[in-house]
Amino acid sequence: MSDSVSDCTEPRSAVTEAEVEALVRGICFKTGPPRTLGVEVEWFVHELRRPWLPAPPERLRAVYTALRTLPLRSALTVEPGGQLELSSAPAASLMECIASVSADLDAVRALLAEADLGLSGYGHDPWNPPRRFLREPRYDAMERYLDRAGPEGRSMMCSSASVQVCLDAGYEEPGPLGHGRRWWLAHQLGAVLVAAFAHSPLSGGKPTGWRSTRQSLWAAMDPGRSGAPPLRGDPRAAWARHVLDAPVMCVRGGPGPWHVPDGLSFRDWTRSPDPPDRGDLDYHLTTLFPPVRPRGHLELRMIDAQPGDDGWIVPLAVTAALFDDPEAAETAYRSVKPLAERADALPPPCNALWVTAAREGLGDPELREAAVACFAAAADALPRLGATDDVREAVAEFTDRYVARGRCPADDLLLQLHGKDTRSGGDDTPFHGKDTHS
């Protein structure tokens, strides 16, 4: 959601339906050898010693102004609810990506600590209702648009956080690293990633019935905006059709308020008396939130934010290994292929497979079996990707604690809620004895 394009008005040159299709097909998949990797990590900012309390808006504004003076390699942006996001520069290797973002996070945490603020990784805020921090025309329009479908949109905007892994699209040619295979794999393996890294079982301090409440919000809010296109056939053609048929969220108009049309697809807009221009198309692309978004590269958006300062490293390392190592990619493909039968006719995230992954995590036996095979393949591949002992040990510890036992980080939160956390005994967990509505 932190995508941005210029809001300035420039001389308009309308684009036709055919031009839109050609443009989208040309920019969505940039093929070639997988060489670069990126990650986007989102965090909730809160009182350092009372993490169930969000930072007041005036303190957030002050600290974000200070953070923008840091010499970071990552792009620093702010989400509508005040969540902080760091987006890495494209890295030539897994370890380059990890080292760069880790250094930036160290600098960010040090500055936040001076203001008695800290960061936490949850897929969904366990304690607080949605509240909007950013007041901008884009987010005003987004809120009005999403409110038409229900409350899920506001929660998505203001109460969710993720780890997004960015991968090269892959070779033009078929094979384990071909873009067609990687596109298909991202959507089928995506359910396994949802289940293994689910970390959002609470809202308002109470269980929601989902291991990944965040993923349940995406499935419920607006299928035309948050759903994937059909996975059969050519990915470029499918994505171009999806972009044209997706509803227009808003029409930009200077300082606002922006117009929020009702039931207008981008295709319909190109056929109207006042058609869109290239800037409108670029902006429309930033308002689509499918679980896998092709932006030249592939942006995998389905992973919940993770616990701990370095919890984000495990999903990054596992995902990179399963896509960029040919042997691991082939194992992942074979492991998740049987799961495709459970996806029924609906695309992610609304199909039965993804809903089960979000609700049950690795409590589902078939998702657990696929996860065990995929994490083993990733562990074998990590030395070939140059992963350090620390990274390999972190993946091994996650595998032993969660995957091998059919568990996910959400299960720890549910134990903490009842004072049964096995790591701390419960007495010093954020949930123990706290008023979750403070």
Which pLDDT score, from 0 to 100, does residue 431 have? 59
393-415 pLDDT per residue, tens = 999 999 999 999 999 999 999 99
Which pLDDT score, from 0 to 100, does residue 224 have? 85
Which pLDDT score, from 0 to 100, does residue 3 have? 60
Which pLDDT score, from 0 to 100, does residue 306 have? 98
- Residue 436: pLDDT above 70? no
- Residue 102: pLDDT above 70? yes
Lowest-confidence segment of 204-208, 311-315, 374-378, 426-430 by average pLDDT:
426-430
- Residue 7: pLDDT above 80? no
Both tokens of 231, joined, read 């996975």
Between 414 and 428, the higher pLDDT residue: 414
Mean pLDDT of 348-376: 97
Q: Is the C-alpha dihedral spanning 256, 260, 266, 268 positive or negative?
A: negative
Which pLDDT score, from 0 to 100, does residue 255 have? 87
Beta bridge partners of 164: 40
135-174 pLDDT per residue, tens = 999 999 999 999 999 999 999 999 999 999 999 999 999 9
201-221 pLDDT per residue, tens = 999 999 999 999 999 999 998
Give the pLDDT band (50/70/90) at residue 421.
low
Mean pLDDT of 52-79: 97
Which pLDDT score, from 0 to 100, does residue 343 have? 85
Both tokens of 211, joined, read 């291991």
Mean pLDDT of 78-107: 98
| DSSP run (H or E) holding 359 | helix 352-360
Which pLDDT score, from 0 to 100, does residue 422 have? 47
Beta strands in 29-170 (DSSP E): 37-47, 75-78, 84-87, 117-120, 162-167
Which pLDDT score, from 0 to 100, does residue 430 have? 61
- Residue 59: pLDDT above 70? yes
- The answer to whether the beta carbons of residues 407 and 424 sit under 8 Å apart is no
- Residue 86: pLDDT above 80? yes
Mean pLDDT of 244-259: 94
High-pLDDT (> 70) share of the chain, %: 93
Which pLDDT score, from 0 to 100, does residue 361 have? 98
Q: What spatial distance separates the first Cα and last Cα of the chain, rounded to whole Å?
A: 28
- Residue 438: pLDDT above 80? no
Between 221 and 429, the higher pLDDT residue: 221
Between 12 and 142, the higher pLDDT residue: 142
| Average pLDDT taken over every residue of the chain | 93
- Whether omega for the bond prior to residue 349 falls within 30 degrees of 0, making it cis, is yes
Mean pLDDT of 426-437: 45
Mean pLDDT of 256-279: 96
List of residues 6+ apart from 419 with CB closer than 8 A: 426, 427, 429, 431, 432
Mean pLDDT of 363-379: 98
Within 10 angstroms of residue 430's Cβ, the number of other Cβ atoms is 18
Give the pLDDT band (50/70/90) at residue 346.
confident
Mean pLDDT of 361-371: 98
List of residues 6+ apart from 357 with CB closer than 8 A: 191, 192, 194, 195, 198, 212, 215, 364, 367
- Residue 191: pLDDT above 90? yes
Q: Which segments of 134-212 does DSSP mark as H helices, in order? A: 137-147, 152-159, 179-196
